[in-house]
Chain A
Amino acid sequence: MSRALTVVSGLVMDERVSFSLGEVSRACGVSAELVMEMVEEGVVEPLGREPAEWRFRGDAVTRVQTALRLSEDLRVNLAGAALALDLMDELMELRQSRTRVAYYEREA
């Protein structure tokens, strides 16, 4: 017998949601100090001056999690993870514009 499942809603981790330092560290299971180090190395860039005022965009959580995996799996340090993340963003933009060029150049 099949039973209809209740629809569950989540939070879209985009630029419209923002998190405090504590919320980011809890979501990623790391200490606030490590997130502060990541801010220093440019892995994530919060808005606000003091750590107590910092607000992180939703995609910052994904960046912190990716940086953690890169440092655990590939032994890169935080500066290297920041560089890798920026290059991966650039690569994604290039891939998108390349598919757009291919899209416009396709045969009728």
Chain B
Amino acid sequence: MEFKDYYAILGVDRDASQEDIKRAYRKLARKYHPDVSKEADAEQRFKEVGEAYEVLKDPEKRKAYDQLGRGYHQGEDFRPPPGWEPGFDFAGGGFTDAGDFSDFFESIFGGGFRPGGRGGAGARGGGFRAAGQDVVARVEITLEDAFNGTHRQITFPHREVTADGRIKETSQTLNVKIPKGITEGQRVRLSGQGEPGFGGGPQGDLYLEVHFRPHRRFHVEGRDIFLDLPVTPWEAALGAQVSVPTLGGQVGLKIPPGSQSGRKLRLKQRGLPGDPPGDQYVALRIVVPRPETDEQRALYERMAREMPFDPRKDL
């Protein structure tokens, strides 16, 4: 397995003080916290930083790591020496779940899953009983899917309790309905589809977080849809009836005479369905044709002569 350079991950020197390590960890944890960061690999980075801190914050683990890791560099193939007995203790919470540490970590410090997170009242009192952890899965859909509704087959890692009480890592596949009118970032909650509880505790929930793939034509905010509509100068000046795409198909739009570039027109309730449904906003963008022939050039010259107009008079 790959050797992990925990010092490099935290960006500290090998002789850094415990205070330096703590400061470096806190800073990186804030930077890569999956709730805060928008970087695609934030969760992975956050876990890596948490794992590095789990080791380096504890003088005993740090000593063991320094001893075993002498001479190794990040990414090099690593094997713990024969007879190495991991015997350390760790616990997690939130996104820092001890069950998610790398194989490298487990080879040195031992594995073992410890339920953390939503212990709640059930985790205390007589006997051990805890609710299973919630699982959050991300799913990308198209705007058309959000408009029409869809269903998605999702596969996510799943821990099962076997008959003899051991934890088995498997994967679970569900076909989940995504109702029409869902918006960016919204979550669908599937009660009891998360991780199993302990000692008769209830199963956690599965949250499906929905994200939209960027669309070729439309931009979306909440349930409102935005479209950039190219129009000719004469359509803008004289007014016109044009056909514009919406998620529900083509609709007729009246361009009022004397429209300028950037003018926004609203197609009421043509956005994502809901209560109330969103609107579609159409922003006009006047596109000026290039004169290709002498006749076309003459037409522009005639306009210049016959339409005295100074758009910069107020500058």
Partner-B contacts on A (CB < 8 A): 4-14, 16, 27-31, 59, 61-62, 65-66, 68-75, 84, 88, 92, 95-97, 99-100, 103-104, 106, 108
Contact = CB atoms under 8 A, between A and B. Distances in A.
Closest 6 CB pairs of A and B: A29-B118, A72-B94, A5-B175, A10-B188, A69-B94, A10-B190
B33 A12 contact: no
Interface size class for chain B? 35 or more
Given A66-B35, A68-B94, A13 B188 contact: yes
Given A29-B117, A103-B226, A8 B187 contact: no
A12 B285 contact: no
Contacts of B50: 73
Interface of B is mostly: mixed
Nearest to A84: B36
Contacts of A29: 117-120, 131, 134
A104 B262 contact: yes
Interface stretch (B59-67, B68-76, B176-184, B245-253): B176-184
Contact of B186 (A13, A27, A103): A13
Nearest to B152: A7
A88 B35 contact: yes
A7 B177 contact: yes
A103 B219 contact: yes
Given A31-B120, A68-B94, A103-B228, 7 more contacts: A10-B206, A12-B186, A13-B188, A66-B35, A69-B94, A70-B36, A104-B228
Interface string B267-310: 00000001100000001010100000000000000000000000
A22 B180 CA distance: 29
Interface of B: 26, 29-30, 33, 35-36, 38, 46, 50, 93-96, 117-121, 131, 134, 151, 153, 173-177, 179, 182-183, 185-191, 193, 205-208, 219, 221, 226, 228, 230, 262, 274-275, 283, 285, 287
Contact of B226 (A7, A12, A100): A100
B153 to A, nearest CB: 6
Contacts of B274: 16
Contacts of A6: 175
B4 to A, nearest CB: 20
A7 B176 contact: yes
Contacts of B188: 10-13
Contacts of A28: 118
Nearest to B176: A8
Nearest to A71: B94
